[in-house]
Amino acid sequence: MSETRKDSKGRRLWNGETQDADGRYKYRYTDLNGNRVTVYSWRLTEADHVPSGKRQDSSLREKEKEIKQMLDMKLDVSKSNVTLLELARRYIQSKPGYKPVTVHQYETSIDRVEGSPFLQRKINDVRTSEAKAWCVGLAKDGVPGEIIDRVKTILKLAYKMAIEDEIAVRNPFDFSLSDVVRYTVNTRDAITPEQEKALLDFLKEDTCYKKYYEPVYILFKTGMRISEFCGLTMDDIDLENGRININHQVLKVPNKGMFVGPPKSKSGYRIIPMSDSVKECFERIIQRREKFDNEPVLYDDDGKAYTGFLYLNRRGNVLISADWEQRFNDIVGRYNKKHEVHLPKITPHVARHTFCTNMANSGVPPKQLQYIMGHSTITITMDHYTHTHVDDLGNIMENVCRI
């Protein structure tokens, strides 16, 4: 009868396990192709400590468990040599249903962290604890929480795909980032009614930027997304009935250029009623709109042509979100140069956020506001009900006390 093999701590070694003279453990097995494969670890079990100066890794027994799972499922271990970075890129490219803007967001997020050695790890060599530690490390290195969260989401979905394709056993990114990394999204807070009025009054009189009063006013008083405003054509403005038809947006992404896309979600298809003041702004914009011999034409993915865009630059090109972002930045910069009390950073999305907050503070029911904003869920809309200002709360409390 053969003698039971033990490690340096006196623990019994299983079939295929051995320990080298330097203390490192190894396990040998035969893969589905008949090849002999060896895996290594400085720890036999998960409770063991990694020797000082050695790389943190899964224990040998943890690796054995995964290998046996793969062999039982008849997974080809050779296919599991895919790295995290390769898996993430495969996932992004395998989703034709994603909008170009989403694909661009995903790709730029992965590009931001692609230099991390962790992403060169094999997909079946990564434990949940290691994935969490990596996210913590990214945060310490100054990577914005939004980027970390997006990358983690990509990898979580990519692992789900890999498990379905039977090249991965488990999903180490199936955890909530907020449990391991404290971060705040760069929110674009609503400005106060006083700040909004100060900006609009300034635009009315400023010799340089008064030409932008109407579009800025419309954004603050309708809550449109800036990409939806950029996509407005003459056909979308119903002055007779006082309505704005939102059924598309203008986008621009690398490798595709400028194009017409559907609204952000199904809820984005909507009709926004105009106030009299908004209607007057549209009338002035249309009246002043310069006529071009060759009106720009953009197409959607179905080949439908769009022309007669409401706002064009001097060269007759359709303005995009980035153009308006820059204009807002210039306007606020000029305002702050002329006033002691400065305005905060204001963007087209701040205008949208401000409109939604003002509507919520005015008592507009959440479901109605959800429709006007084109929010996909009521949860997004309800978030704006938390941005009530202290003064507004005081008025509400006073009204309650009178009942």
What value does the mean pLDDT of the chain take?
A: 86
| Candidates 11, 89, 99, 264; catalytic one | 264
Residue 254 has pLDDT above 80, yes or no: no
Q: What is the CB neighbour count within 10 angstroms for residue 46?
A: 12
Q: What is the 3-state secondary structure (H, E, C) of 90-156?
A: HHHHCCCCCCHHHHHHHHHHHHHHCCCHHHHCEHHHCCHHHHHHHHHHHHHCCCCHHHHHHHHHHHH
Give every CB contact of residue 125 below 8 A, 6+ residues apart in sequence: 57, 58
Distance of CA 199 to the CA centre of its chain: 29
pLDDT at 95: 73
Q: For residue 97, what pLDDT is reported?
A: 65
Q: Give tens-digit pLDDT for 129-180.
A: 999 999 999 999 988 888 999 999 999 999 998 888 878 888 999 998 888 8
Q: Which one from 29, 98, 212, 385 is the annotated catalytic residue?
A: 385
Q: Is 375 a catalytic residue?
A: yes
Q: Which of 112, 349, 371, 387 is catalytic?
A: 349
pLDDT for position 72: 67
Within a 13 Å sphere around the CA of 23, how many CA atoms are in the beta-carbon half? Answer: 9
Residue 219: per-residue pLDDT:
97
Rounded Cα distance, 66 and 170, in Å: 9
Choosing from 61, 63, 252, 352, the catalytic residue is 352
Known catalytic membership, residue 204: no
Active-site residue flag, 264: yes
Q: What is the CA radius of gyration of the chain?
A: 29
pLDDT at 270: 95
Which of these is catalytic: 43, 104, 225, 353?
225
Task: Tell me the pairing of strands 270-273 and 243-246.
Answer: antiparallel
Residue 189 scores a pLDDT above 90: no
pLDDT, position 332? 96
Q: Which residues pair with 298 in a beta bridge?
A: 306
Q: Which residue has the higher pLDDT, 392 or 246?
A: 246
pLDDT of residue 256 exceeding 80? no
| For residues 240-257, average pLDDT | 89
What pLDDT does residue 294 have? 86
CA distance 366 to 377: 11
Q: What is the pLDDT, as a whole number, of residue 75? A: 54
Give the range among 54-63, 66-75, 78-87, 276-285 with minimum mean pLDDT. Answer: 66-75
Tokens standing for 316? 């007759």
Residue 209 or residue 76, greater confidence: 209
Residues 257-282, mean pLDDT to the nearest whole number? 92
The pLDDT, as a whole number, for residue 399 is 47
Output the pLDDT for position 158: 93
The predicted structure's pLDDT at residue 390: 45
| Closest to 380 in 3D by CA, of 252, 225, 176 | 225
Give the pLDDT confidence score for residue 40 in this predicted structure.
93
pLDDT tens digits, one per residue of 10-42: 999 998 999 999 999 999 988 766 778 899 999
pLDDT (mean) for 258-276: 91
349: annotated active-site residue: yes
Whether 102 has a pLDDT exceeding 70, the answer reads yes
Catalytic residue from among 104, 152, 375, 384: 375
Strands 17-19 and 25-30: antiparallel
Concatenate the DSSP letters of all residues of 241-266 into one string.
TTEEEE--EEEEETTTEEEEE--SSG
pLDDT at 2 over 60: no
For residue 224, the model assigns a pLDDT of 95
pLDDT at position 322 over 60: yes
Inform me whether the pLDDT recorded for 397 exceeds 50: no
pLDDT value of residue 74 = 57
DSSP per-residue codes, 269-325: -EEEEPPHHHHHHHHHHHHHPPP-SS---EE-TT--EE--BS-B-TTSPBP-HHHHH
